A and B are shown apart, each in its own frame.
Chain A
Amino acid sequence: MKHHLILLMAAKLMIPPILLFALYVQFHGDYGPGGGFQAGVIFASAFILYGLVFGLDELRRVAPLSAVTKLMAAGWGLYIGVGYAGVATGGMFLDYGRLSSDPIAGQHTGIFLVELGVGMAVASTMLAIYQCFAAHQSRELTDDEW
Chain B
Amino acid sequence: MIRQHLAILQVMLPMLCAPLCVFARRPVIAWLIATAATLFALAGSFILFAQALNAGVISYHLGGWAPPWGIEFRLDAANSFVLIIVSLVGAVCMIYGRDSIPREIKSSDQPLFYTMMMLCFSGMLGVTSTGDAFNLFVFLEIFSLSSYVLVAMGAGSDRRALTAAFTYLLLGTIGATFFVIGLGFIYVLTGTLNMADIAVRIAGMSGSGTLHVGFAFIIVGIGLKLAIFPLHLWLPNAYTHAPSVVTALLAGTSTKVALYALLRMLYTVFSPDLPFEALILHYLFLPLGLTAVFVASIIALFQSDVKRLLAWSSIAQSGYFLLGVSFANIGGLTATLVHMFNHAIMKSSLFLAVGCVVYRTGSCSVASFRGLGQKMPWTMSAFVIGGLSMIGVPATVGFVSKWYLVLAALERGWWPVAFAIVAGSLLALFYFGRVIEAAYLQPSPENSAVTEAPVSMLAPLWALTISCLALGINSELTVSTARAAAEALLAPHAGLPAHMGP
Q: Which residues of A contact B1 (CB under 8 A)?
A: 87
Known: A73-B22, A76-B18. A92 touches B159 (CB 8 A): no
Q: Which of the candidate stretches B60-68, B223-231, B353-361 sits at the interface with the other chain?
A: B60-68
Known: A73-B19, A83-B12. A93 touches B62 (CB 8 A): yes
Q: Which residues of B contact A141 (CB under 8 A)?
A: 159
Q: Which of the candidate stretches A26-34, A94-102, A130-138 sits at the interface with the other chain?
A: A94-102
Known: A83-B12, A145-B160, A146-B160. A94 touches B62 (CB 8 A): yes
Q: How far is the CB of B255 from chain A (nearest CB, A)?
A: 27
Q: Which residues of A contact B112 (CB under 8 A)?
A: 69
Among B19, B20, B63, the residue within 8 A (CB) of A86 is B63
Cα distance, A142 to B115, chains bound together (Å): 31
Count the A residues whose beta carbon is within 8 Å of the partner chain — how many? 23
Q: How far is the CB of B203 from chain A (nearest CB, A)?
A: 30
Interface string of B1-18 (1 = CB under 8 A from A): 100010011001001101
Asked whether, in the complex, the Cβ of B15 is within 8 Å of the Cβ of A92, the reply is: no
Question: B414 within 8 Å of A by Cβ?
Answer: no
Question: B23 within 8 Å of A by Cβ?
Answer: yes
Cα distance, A86 to B62, chains bound together (Å): 10
- Give the residue among A70, A91, A94 with the most B Cβ atoms within 10 A: A94
The B47-87 residues at the A interface (CB cut-off 8 A) are 60-64
Asked whether, in the complex, the Cβ of A93 is within 8 Å of the Cβ of B160, the reply is: no
Q: Which residues of B contact A84 (CB under 8 A)?
A: 12, 16
Asked whether, in the complex, the Cβ of B159 is within 8 Å of the Cβ of A145, the reply is: yes
Among B12, B16, B22, the residue within 8 A (CB) of A70 is B22
Residue of B nearest to A107 (CB): B63
Q: Which residues of A contact B61 (CB under 8 A)?
A: 92
Cα distance, A96 to B12, chains bound together (Å): 16
The A84-129 residues at the B interface (CB cut-off 8 A) are 84, 86-87, 91-97
Among B23, B62, B158, the residue within 8 A (CB) of A92 is B62
Cα distance, A57 to B16, chains bound together (Å): 33
Cα distance, A91 to B61, chains bound together (Å): 10
Q: How far is the CB of A105 from chain B (nearest CB, A)?
A: 16
- Give the residue among B1, B16, B64, B160 with the most A Cβ atoms within 10 A: B64
Q: Which residues of A contact B23 (CB under 8 A)?
A: 70, 73
Cα distance, A80 to B159, chains bound together (Å): 35
Q: How far is the CB of A19 from chain B (nearest CB, A)?
A: 25
Q: Which residues of B contact A76 (CB under 8 A)?
A: 18-19
Q: How far is the CB of A37 from chain B (nearest CB, A)?
A: 15
**Interface SS of chain A:** helix
Cα distance, A97 to B158, chains bound together (Å): 50
Asked whether, in the complex, the Cβ of A80 is within 8 Å of the Cβ of B63, the reply is: no
Q: Which residues of A contact B15 (CB under 8 A)?
A: 80
Q: Which residues of B contact A74 (CB under 8 A)?
A: 19
Cα distance, A77 to B363, chains bound together (Å): 39
Q: Which residues of A contact B62 (CB under 8 A)?
A: 92-94
Q: Which residues of A contact B115 (CB under 8 A)?
A: 73
Q: Which residues of A contact B16 (CB under 8 A)?
A: 77, 80-81, 84
Asked whether, in the complex, the Cβ of A72 is within 8 Å of the Cβ of B22, the reply is: yes
Cα distance, A69 to B109, chains bound together (Å): 12
Cα distance, A20 to B20, chains bound together (Å): 30
Known: A83-B12, A87-B5, A146-B160. A96 touches B63 (CB 8 A): yes
Cα distance, A48 to B64, chains bound together (Å): 40
Cα distance, A97 to B70, chains bound together (Å): 14
Residue of B nearest to A80 (CB): B16
Asked whether, in the complex, the Cβ of A77 is within 8 Å of the Cβ of B8, the reply is: no
Q: How far is the CB of A26 from chain B (nearest CB, A)?
A: 20
Interface string of B122-161 (1 = CB under 8 A from A): 0000000000000000000000000000000000001110
The B92-144 residues at the A interface (CB cut-off 8 A) are 112, 115
Cα distance, A96 to B62, chains bound together (Å): 10
Q: Which residues of B contact A97 (CB under 8 A)?
A: 64
Q: How far is the CB of A64 from chain B (nearest CB, A)?
A: 14
The A40-88 residues at the B interface (CB cut-off 8 A) are 69-70, 72-74, 76-77, 80-81, 83-84, 86-87
The B13-40 residues at the A interface (CB cut-off 8 A) are 15-16, 18-20, 22-23
Asked whether, in the complex, the Cβ of A95 is within 8 Å of the Cβ of B64, the reply is: yes
Cα distance, A93 to B16, chains bound together (Å): 13
Asked whether, in the complex, the Cβ of B19 is within 8 Å of the Cβ of A91, the reply is: no
The B267-290 residues at the A interface (CB cut-off 8 A) are none
Residue of A nearest to B163 (CB): A146
Q: Which residues of B contact A80 (CB under 8 A)?
A: 12, 15-16, 19
Cα distance, A72 to B111, chains bound together (Å): 14
Cα distance, A94 to B64, chains bound together (Å): 8
Q: How far is the CB of B364 from chain A (nearest CB, A)?
A: 17
- Give the residue among B9, B22, B160 with the most A Cβ atoms within 10 A: B22
Residue of B nearest to A86 (CB): B63
Q: How far is the CB of A36 from chain B (nearest CB, A)?
A: 16
Cα distance, A123 to B477, chains bound together (Å): 50
Cα distance, A74 to B15, chains bound together (Å): 13
The B152-186 residues at the A interface (CB cut-off 8 A) are 158-160
Q: Which residues of B contact A93 (CB under 8 A)?
A: 5, 8, 12, 60, 62-63
Cα distance, A81 to B60, chains bound together (Å): 19
Asked whether, in the complex, the Cβ of B22 is within 8 Å of the Cβ of A92, the reply is: no
Query: Residues of A at under 8 Å CB distance from B?
Result: 69-70, 72-74, 76-77, 80-81, 83-84, 86-87, 91-97, 141, 145-146
The 6 closest A-B pairs by CB, nearest first: A73-B22, A73-B19, A77-B19, A94-B63, A95-B64, A93-B8
Q: List 12 A-B contacts (CB under 8 A).
A: A73-B22, A76-B18, A76-B19, A77-B16, A80-B16, A86-B64, A87-B8, A87-B9, A92-B8, A93-B8, A145-B158, A146-B160
Not counting A69-B112, A80-B16, A141-B159, a sample of 12 additional A-B residue pairs whose C-beta atoms are within 8 angstroms of each other reads: A70-B22, A73-B22, A73-B115, A76-B19, A80-B12, A86-B64, A87-B5, A92-B64, A93-B8, A93-B60, A95-B64, A97-B64
